[in-house]
Copies of this chain bind each other. A is one copy, B any other.
Amino acid sequence: MTHMSLDLTQDAVSLTRDLVDIESVSGNEAAIADAIEAALGGLDHLTVQRFGHTLVARTDLGRDERVVIAGHIDTVPLNDNLPAKLTDTDLHGLGACDMKGGVAVALRTAATVPAPNRDVTYVFYECEEVEAERNGLFLLSQSHPELLQADFAILMEPSDAVVEAGCQGTMRVDVITRGERAHSARSWMGVNAIHGAAEVLARLNAYEPRRPVIDGLEYHEGLNAVFISGGVAGNVLPDECRVSINYRFAPDRTEEQALAHMREVFDGFDIEVSDSAPAAMPGLSVPAAAAFVEAVGGTANPKFGWTDVARFSVLGVPAVNFGPGDPHLAHKQEEFVPLDHIRSVEEQLRTWLGAAS
């Protein structure tokens, strides 16, 4: 097997381009993981371990503090957006934004900052874009939680090169209405379950989402039907209608509290939970986190979408998103990353780790 080789000493923009050009749709990360393993494996200051297509590289300098710097190496499916294309200001291509720009910064930092002022655990993991059971960070948190122990974690997801703290939780519940089948030519013999869903939709329309302020950040909840389905045949009154509802909840609520709230909002209806993931508190009052925010300019925004920072939160590790790229471009055919994001994120990270710039 021919390995692609990565030069981790080249500038981060060129490295991002090389990473984008190694296709790595979820489930197909062998080549990129091989290339990263080979590149990091030759460095004396790092201990490298591999789990599936997830790589962990640690410094062990006996520093007072340890931080995790993590990024996923997979992408959503190809969409006629490879190879990478470089302009004067941006790098275009699958994964450029989500999140090979961040991975490039982390890889270059790992290779070229041999003696950081904090010990660092770098994690490059597989299968973030697919179901949670395959997520490399999740698997590692189950099999080797000790490897993720740290005072603080930085997830290099696109965040417009600004710290995004915490993340909102997400829960999906099916709210189910029931009726009684009848031939639609004699509809008075039955009860129409789709008509019964009017009340569910009316409650959604009347719902006022909370906007709580936590650690100085204003979150913004949301309650939305994402699917609706019902129907038996073109001439039959349906006996069931299912409204699948996505609740995005701020980090001051646990999953249990979120579910209790759903039961309250949809009181009188059957509810089935189909998916749930906890929020992560911004944790900006933790010294390591506060120091990081201070070091990168003092600004932090709330993170609305769910990200793997919540996995660190579950392990008791405060974590933030901080990476190049506009998160709104993630998963889009036309995704790109601004070159100045890559450069500024790298510079701030190096400075925080005490490297000469």
* B202 in contact with A198 (CB, 8 Å): yes
* B228 in contact with A197 (CB, 8 Å): yes
Q: Count A-side interface residues using an 8 Å CB cutoff.
A: 47
Give Cα A145 to B215, complex, Å: 80
Give Cα A22 to B328, complex, Å: 64
| Interface residue stretch chosen among A32-40, A48-56, A82-90, A179-187 | A179-187
Contacts of A195 in B (CB 8 A): 201, 204-205, 224-225
- A243 part of interface (Cβ distance < 8 Å): yes
Q: How many copies does the complex hold?
A: 2
- A5 part of interface (Cβ distance < 8 Å): no
Contacts of A223 in B (CB 8 A): 187
* A170 in contact with B185 (CB, 8 Å): yes
Choose from B183, B197, B304 the contact partner of A305 (Cβ within 8 Å): B183
What sequence of 0s and 1s flags, for each residue 219-258 of chain A, a beta carbon within 8 Å of any chain B beta carbon?
Answer: 0101111111111111111100101101010000000000
Contacts of A209 in B (CB 8 A): 187
Give Cα A232 to B184, complex, Å: 29
Give Cα A209 to B244, complex, Å: 30
CB distance from A47 to the nearest CB of B (A): 36
Give Cα A233 to B170, complex, Å: 14
Give Cα A226 to B184, complex, Å: 8
Give Cα A195 to B224, complex, Å: 8
Known: A197-B201, A305-B185. A227 touches B234 (CB 8 A): yes
Give Cα A50 to B237, complex, Å: 38
Mark A residues whose CB is within 8 Å of B: 168, 170, 172, 183-188, 192, 194-195, 197-198, 201-202, 204-205, 209, 220, 222-238, 241, 243-244, 246, 248, 275, 304-306, 328
Given contacts A188-B222, A226-B231, 7 further A-B contacts (CB under 8 A): A183-B328, A187-B224, A192-B225, A195-B201, A195-B225, A226-B236, A231-B244
